[in-house]
Structure 1
Amino acid sequence: MRILIVGAGAIGGYFGGRLLEAGRDVTFLVRPTRAEELDRDGLIVRSPLGNIVYPSPPLVMTPMLDQTFDLILLSCKAYDLDAAMESFAAAVGAETLILPLLNGMAHLDRLAERFAPGNVLGGQCLISLDRDASGAILHLNDTNQLSFGELSGAVSQRILKVADALADAGFDANLSQQIVQEMWEKWCFIATGAGVTGALRASIGDVMASGGEAWVLQLLAECASIAENAGYPLRRDVRQRFQTMLTTRGSKMTASMLRDIERGAPIEVEHVIGDLVARRSSADKHAKGGLSTLDTVYLHLKSYEARRLRERG
């Protein structure tokens, strides 16, 4: 199976690097500046599960795309989705499968509109990654799970081929028959974790030390209510696990959104938080005449965005 990894940033570089090491047919679609870095330094991943140093990984740039691929792994930031779709459009054929690893759900409709519904799979990953100033990818925990599946939940021949291509490649590749449920659950977790640590500019442990447990649980409850109204209630064991992770005393956990804020970068506030606000029913507005916890988080993060744009004026 010919696999195109769109970008060689943290997520694409990590999973693409693992696939390369496993001998899979992988090509990275990159911009010129990243191509120069990779040609000069190679693909570098520093991970507690094993480092990767892959000299001169296979690269292509958009003007050079002249054939279609079997599988496209997409892990761009949500605000770059339109540009990313344009960049890899020439690689999409009638049988091409697009596996997006973005948070939230809105990207599924946008991909289906730009290409075809049949091209789009469901997907998510559970991993904490960043990049340092040199461009090396840093794996920050010991989890590296990638889940994928047909949006319908079917176990088709094509999804089995994807499972074969991703198996035994140095990460946990899970074929899921309920990928949409899992994407909604992850969305609730990410929105709560990013909302708490991003809006309060603090780790989970610092928020707990400040007496913020009830506020965190309220935000999770509001996100879970929106998921339930959409037909995807959080499963009891999943919700309990989220509550434990999000209220652990002394936890150093922060979301990548906070790291983006601290470096003055753009954030995925609309895709992760704003889309939940837009999907909320009137019954979910817990504070009539005032702001709900979700509204407050959205206001904080939008204010950061507004200040960032003004300062770059």
Structure 2
Amino acid sequence: MRILVVGAGGIGGYFGGRLLQAGRDVTFLVRPGRAKLLTENGFTIRSPLGDYHHPTPPLITADRLDGAPYDLIILSCKAYDLADAMASFAPAVGEETLILPLLNGMTHLESLDDRFGAAHVLGGLCLISSGTDETGAILHFNRMNTLVFGARAGGQAAEAGLIAEALGDAGFIMRHSQAIVQEMWEKWVFIAVGAGITCLMRAAVCDIIEAGGAGVVNGLFEECAAISAAAGFPPGEWLAKQKESFLLNPESPLMASMLRDIERGGAVEADHILGALLDRAPCDDDAPLLTLAFMHLKAYEARRAREAS
């Protein structure tokens, strides 16, 4: 199976790198600057689960895609880069190609469906904490490295089984879900609460709980969970466990990657994670805490834009 991994950052780089390490036919689609960095330094993963280095990783830039289709495209860009990413890998999509997006939220599915057709787009998510350093190396921060995918349409079932074989036994936990949309909604709620509260308070969960904020965290969780339930996806057992283990645990070091983006002055996925969820609230007054968290992020974006100009 020919696999194209769009991007070689913390997520695409980690899972694509493990697939490469396992001997799979993987090519990374990267921007010219990233290609130069990886060509000079090689491809490196640093992880508690084992390091990996490839001196000459298989790379390609968008201008070199020749129209030969890939079997699977793993997409792991930020939501605000989705339009550019779709344009870059479009020549690699053939009649049998399946796209596995690992973005947070749900709105990216609509964009991918509109561009390539729903029959080409799987559901997917990942559970990992990772990033990159100045040399381009992939940094894996803990032992969590799970990739979940599943069919969204009946015609994808047979191909999904082949993908499970291609992604299996590759140095990370792979799970073929029979209820991928439900699981994506549950992760969306978890990410929205984690990002919303840690960005709003500019602190890790343990610090927020220490400051007496458990009730606020729980209130934000209930608002987001209610929106999910109203959309037909009431949170299940997995989300309840994540809430207790990571969002209300006084020892939880959870700090959303969105907060790290703010601390370095970077772009954030405010509209795609918090805003899109807020848009699905049945009534405008149903989610005051989510509204406040979203407003906080939009104020950050406004200040960032003003200071840049």
Specify if TM > 0.5.
Answer: yes
Could you list the per-position Cα deviations for residues 241-300 of structure 1 after superposition, in whole angstroms to 9, with x for gaps in the alignment? 323310111322101000000000000000000001111111x7237xxxx000000011
Match of 1:93 in 2: 94
Query: Quick one: distance in 2 between partners of 1:100 and 1:41?
Result: 27
Could you list the per-position Cα deviations for residues 14-62 of structure 1 after superposition, in whole angstroms to 9, with x for gaps in the alignment? 0111000100000000111111111111111110001111111101111
Match of 1:103 in 2: 104
Query: Quick one: distance in 1 between partners of 2:107 and 2:253?
Result: 30
Match of 1:281 in 2: 282
Match of 1:47 in 2: 47
Query: Quick one: distance in 2 between partners of 1:121 and 1:265?
Result: 29
Query: Quick one: distance in 1 between partners of 2:142 and 2:124?
Result: 20
Matched to 1:311, the amino acid is E
- Which consecutive residues of structure 1, in runs of 5 or more, have no partner in the other structure? none
Matches within 5 A, 1:1-150: 1-66=1-66, 67-150=68-151
Query: Quick one: distance in 1 between partners of 2:106 and 2:132?
Result: 25
Query: Quick one: distance in 1 between partners of 2:71 and 2:286?
Result: 46
Query: Quick one: distance in 1 between partners of 2:222 and 2:208?
Result: 17
> Are positions 1:247 and 2:256 aligned together?
no
TM-aligned CA distance change 1:26 to 1:237, over 3 Å: closer
The answer as to whether partners of 1:153 and 1:179 remain within 8 angstroms in 2 is no
Match of 1:311 in 2: 307
Match of 1:221 in 2: 222
Query: Quick one: distance in 2 between partners of 1:286 and 1:68?
Result: 46
Identity %: 55
Shift, 1:153, TM fit: 7.0
Shift, 1:178, TM fit: 0.3
Shift, 1:190, TM fit: 0.3
Query: Quick one: distance in 1 between partners of 2:147 and 2:242?
Result: 19
Number of residues paired by the alignment?
A: 308
The answer as to whether partners of 1:154 and 1:177 remain within 8 angstroms in 2 is no
Shift, 1:200, TM fit: 1.2
Could you list the per-position Cα deviations for residues 139-158 of structure 1 after superposition, in whole angstroms to 9, with x for gaps in the alignment? 11101000000014787210
Runs of 4+ in structure 1 off by over 2 angstroms are: 152-155, 284-287
SS at match of 1:143: strand
SS at match of 2:226: helix
Matched to 1:124, the amino acid is L
TM-aligned CA distance change 1:22 to 1:193, over 3 Å: same
Normalised TM-score (structure 2): 0.97
Query: Quick one: distance in 2 between partners of 1:21 and 1:241?
Result: 30
Matched to 1:13, the amino acid is G
Could you list the per-position Cα deviations for residues 179-222 of structure 1 after superposition, in whole angstroms to 9, with x for gaps in the alignment? 00000000000000001111111000110111110000111111
TM-aligned CA distance change 1:204 to 1:171, over 3 Å: same
